[in-house]
Amino acid sequence: MSITLNSIVMTIFCSTIFIVLLSLFRTQPRFLDICSISGIIILFLVCMARLVIPLEFSWTKVVQVRAVYNPIMLFLMSEIPLFENHTIEVSEILLVVWILGALSGVVRMLLNYRKVSSCVSDLCCIRAEKADELLYQISSGQKRKNLPYVFKSDQISAPIGYGLRKKAIIIPDREYDERDLKYIILHEYTHFRNKDIWVKLLINLLCVVYWWNPFVYLLRRKLNDCFEIRCDKRVVKEIGPDNSADYLTALLNTFRESVKCEGKNNAMLKISPQNTNKLKERFSLVASVNKKKQKIKGNLIAVVIIVGLIVLSYSFIFQAGFDVPFEEVESEPGAYSIDTGDSYFFKNTDGKYYMKTSGGTVVEIEDRYVEILKETGFSERSE
C-alpha cells in the first residue's frame, strides 16, 4: 500500500469519470427511481472519498499506456535549470503550485467564513417568536437538544440555515402565511437533521485541495441539488402526500419573493435563488415519494454499485513504460539482452530451473524468479 504519482493521477482520472457519469445519470428519472436520491448522494460521497484516498495496493494491476503516459511522464520529469548546477523537475514545480494554491484556498475559506459570520451578526436579526413556536411544535417527539434559533432580517433574500454548533435559521423579515412559514421552517430544520451542512463543509474542503479541478466544483453543485431534493422528499414523507401541494406552494412563494429581493439588490447577504429548471425538477420529484421497500432496494443497488466501483478503481493503475536502452545493458560485462519471443525457461531433471536464450545460452535461475518471469511474459517449456 503506497501513494505514488501514478496513484494520484489514477485517483483524479477515476473520480472524474465517476463524477461525469453520475452527473449525467442523476438527471435520468429511471436511474433516480432505481437508486433513490439517498443512494445517489452516497455515490457522490464515494467520489469524494476516492479523491482523498489515492492508494496503490499490492494487488493492483499495472497497465502500461505508453502512447499517453510516456510523453506526460517525460514532461513531468524534465528538469529546469535554477542556478549553478541546481535543477528542479516540472513535477516538483507543479506540486509546489498545488500546495500553495491549496494553502491560499484554506486562507480564503477561513476569511469567507469569518465574513459570513460577521455578516450574519450584523444582519440586524430579531428573534422570530412565532417561527420559534412552530419549530418547537415540528420537533415534538424528537430530540430537542441544540435546536436552532429562528431569526428574521430584512437584509436577506431567502431563508438560510447557518451554523455547525450554534445553529440558526434566518428568514426574510416579511409577512408569512402560517402554513408557508411552517413549511419553510420544516425545510431548513430538515437540512440540519440530515447533517447537510457538515457534508457541505467537507466538499468545500475538497474544493480547496483540488482547486484546479473543475469537476470537483461540478460534484459540489450536484450534491447541493441532491440535498435539496432529499430534503423535499423527507418533508413530504412526514407531512403526507395530501399536503404536498401546500408544501410546493410554499416553495413557489419563497422562490418568487427571493427573486424580487434579488432584483432589488439591496440585501447585505447575497443568496442566489435556484433557477427555474431546478425548481421544476424539485416539483416533479416531490410529487412521488418512494415507498420504504423501494427505498431499501434503491440503497442496496447503490451499495452494489459502490462496491463494484471501488474494487474496479483500485484494481488497475495506468503507468508509463520505457524500454531499457540496449547500449546500457550490453555495455556491462557478461550482460546480454533476452527477448520474450524466442527465450524461455524450463525445469531440468535435477529439479532446478534454467533459462535458454535466443542465442542458445543456458543459465540457471533461482526458484524465486520463476513467478516474475511468468508475469513478465516468458513461457515455460519442457526440455
Band (pLDDT 50/70/90 cuts) for residue 268 is very low
pLDDT(328) > 70: no
* CA 257/CA 264 separation, integer angstroms: 11
Q: Please indicate whether residue 25 or residue 102 has the higher confidence score (pLDDT).
A: 102
Residues 98-127 as b/e (b if ≥16 CB within 10 A, e otherwise) read eeeebeebeeeeeeeeeeeeeebeebebee
Q: Checking DSSP bridges between strand 126-127 and strand 86-89, what pairing results, if any? A: unpaired
Average pLDDT, the chain: 78
pLDDT value, residue 107: 92
* 143 pLDDT above the threshold of 80: no
The confidence score (pLDDT) of residue 292 equals 47
pLDDT at site 300: 73
- Tell me which range, 53-62, 112-121, 275-284, is most confidently predicted by mean pLDDT: 53-62
What is the C-alpha separation between 200 and 224, in angstroms, rounded?
8
Helix axes 5-26, 29-52, angle to 10 degrees: 160
pLDDT in tens, 46-98: 888 888 888 777 778 888 877 877 888 888 888 888 777 788 888 888 889 99
For residue 343, pLDDT over 70 is answered with yes
More confident: 90 or 128: 90
Rounded Cα distance, 258 and 261, in Å = 5
Q: What pTM was computed for the model?
A: 0.72
Query: Model confidence at 195, in pLDDT bands (50, 70, 90)?
Result: confident
pLDDT at 199 over 90: no
Query: How many angstroms from the chain centroid is the CA of residue 339?
Result: 44
| Nearest CA among 314, 323, 322 for reference residue 61 | 314
Least confident of 16-20, 312-316, 326-330: 326-330
Among the listed ranges 30-34, 186-190, 224-228, 342-346, which one has the minimum average pLDDT value?
30-34
State the pLDDT at residue 121. Answer: 67
